[in-house]
């Protein structure tokens, strides 16, 4: 039986492990550089029907009903007027128990961990070297070298595996934006609320049936290199309050009072699509490609890419990268368009954008092309 090393115990790596557990065609080990997984993280994620369809194969539809939420719409608002521009009906992409879903990331991680034997996850495993010999020899800091038939890099946007393979070219680039996250209790709108502002946008959505809401804002911010890596600055309460007040000032929502448990982090995206020249090394999720965060496909693509790779492995085919490259380009194109449109500041450009939004969000043919091509695969 051939063995697989999975680097990273995030969504993509854990989902792949679940598929391998059900099939038993391969043995595997997950190597995670952290000492444990934090299941107390209360921040939310969105999962479109393409990933729900795949998660249901491992029992996601049996999740505790109170831990998930099924929004019916995405409501677009002008941040200054808090005036609704338009909405997208998400239910048109739903099928029976495959519905657009929001939940806390920690709940999804906890679900993915349930079917994985504890001995298959090795914590405190920091990958430092890869040698392509008769088998792949993996060296971890302070540990013995391990040998595997396949290597799957699922270690996120800051992938150490990718850095080893591609050197500096494997490192992500700063997107000139930061993300501000937090939690809200008892927000008035029970669907996904997307607020568009000058050089920023923010999204508020329920993460369960208990009136917990996720807040995420993407704010344009030109930071020098030392500030990007300065964790004490990014975690400083004054810095966080200045950010939330900056957004509040440009809107009619008192976000400083609404948003709790605030954290911020710089946004990094992939420089380009990169494919290893070693046939038994694979990149999945954000390690393969990290998108601008304006299309809500990060978690879903982590799941979908793991599923594509699993199918490639069990069928001994070589279609994984071909399929991934095509899907990645489609999503990256849409993410870039969204990011540009969401952050317009010129009044005339905003007026034209809003007119187009009102028309296009009710055009079924457009939605099927723009969203359906991504959701229905």
Task: Assign residue 351 the CATH number of its domain.
Answer: 3.50.50.60
Between CA 332 and CA 81 the distance in angstroms is: 30
Q: Which of 155, 207, 200, 204 has its CA nearest to residue 179?
A: 200
What's the pLDDT score for residue 40? 80
Q: Which two tokens stand for residue 190?
A: 């029970």
At residue 205 the predicted structure's pLDDT band, cuts being 50, 70 and 90, is very high
User: Residue 319's pLDDT is what?
Assistant: 93
Residue 216 lies in a domain: no
Asked whether residue 233 is assigned to any structural domain, the reply reads no
Q: What would the two tokens of residue 141 be?
A: 């800091």
For the record, the structure tokens of 100 come out as: 């657009």
Residue 202 in any domain: the answer is no
In percent, the amount of the chain with pLDDT more than 90 equals: 82
Q: Round to whole Å and give the CA distance between 232 and 368.
A: 44
Q: What is the pLDDT of residues 92-136, one digit of tens each?
A: 999 888 999 999 999 999 999 999 999 999 999 999 999 998 899
The C-alpha atoms of residue 166 and residue 164 are separated, in whole angstroms, by: 6
Closest to 140 in 3D by CA, of 153, 122, 121, 126 = 126
pLDDT over 80 at 41, yes or no: no
Q: Which of 24, 100, 88, 85 is nearest to 55 (CA)?
A: 100
State the total domains in the chain.
Answer: 1
Q: Is the pLDDT of residue 80 over 90?
A: no
Question: Is residue 176 left, alpha or beta, with left meaning phi > 0 and alpha meaning psi from -120 to 50?
Answer: left
Domain-located, residue 47:
yes
Bridge partners of 74, per DSSP, are: 88, 192
| Average pLDDT value for residue range 79-98 | 90
The pTM assigned to this predicted structure is 0.95
**In this structure, is residue 46 part of a structural domain?**
yes
Please give the residue range of the domain that contains residue 14: 3-172+270-375
Note the pLDDT of residue 49.
Answer: 96
Quick one: DSSP state of residue 98? Answer: B
């Amino acid at each position: 039986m051939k063995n697989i090393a999975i680097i990273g115990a995030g969504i993509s790596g854990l989902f792949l492990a679940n598929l391998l557990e059900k099939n038993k065609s391969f043995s595997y080990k997950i190597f995670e550089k952290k000492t444990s997984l934090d299941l107390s993280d209360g921040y939310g994620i969105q999962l479109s029907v393409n990933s729900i369809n795949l998660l249901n194969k491992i029992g996601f539809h049996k999740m505790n009903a109170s831990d998930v939420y099924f929004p019916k719409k995405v409501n677009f608002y002008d941040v200054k007027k808090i005036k609704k521009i338009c909405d997208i009906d998400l239910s048109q992409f739903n099928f029976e128990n495959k519905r657009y879903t929001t939940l806390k990331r920690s709940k999804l991680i906890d679900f993915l961990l349930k079917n994985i034997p504890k001995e298959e996850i090795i914590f405190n495993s920091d990958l430092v070297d890869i040698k392509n010999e008769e088998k792949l020899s993996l060296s971890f800091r302070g540990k013995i070298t391990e040998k595997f038939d396949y290597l799957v890099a699922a270690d996120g946007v800051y992938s150490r595996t990718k850095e080893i393979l591609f050197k500096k070219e494997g490192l992500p680039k700063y997107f000139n934006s930061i993300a501000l996250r937090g939690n809200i209790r008892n927000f008035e709108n029970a669907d996904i609320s997307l607020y568009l502002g000058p050089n920023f946008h923010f999204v508020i959505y329920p993460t369960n049936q208990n009136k917990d809401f996720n807040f995420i804002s993407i704010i344009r911010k030109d930071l020098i290199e030392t500030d990007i890596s300065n964790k004490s600055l990014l975690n400083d309460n004054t810095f966080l309050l200045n950010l939330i007040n900056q957004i509040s000032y440009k809107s009619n929502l008192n976000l400083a009072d609404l948003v709790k448990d605030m954290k911020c982090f710089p946004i990094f995206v992939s420089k380009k699509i990169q494919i290893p020249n070693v046939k038994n090394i694979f990149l999945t999720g954000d390690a393969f490609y990290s998108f601008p965060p304006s299309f809500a496909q990060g978690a879903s693509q982590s799941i979908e890419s793991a599923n594509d790779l699993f199918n490639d492995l069990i069928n001994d085919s070589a279609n994984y990268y071909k399929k991934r490259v095509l899907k990645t380009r489609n999503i990256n194109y849409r993410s870039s368009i969204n990011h540009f449109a969401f952050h317009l500041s010129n009044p005339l450009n905003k007026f034209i954008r809003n007119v187009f939004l009102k028309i296009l969000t009710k055009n079924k043919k457009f939605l099927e092309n723009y969203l359906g091509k991504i959701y229905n695969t």
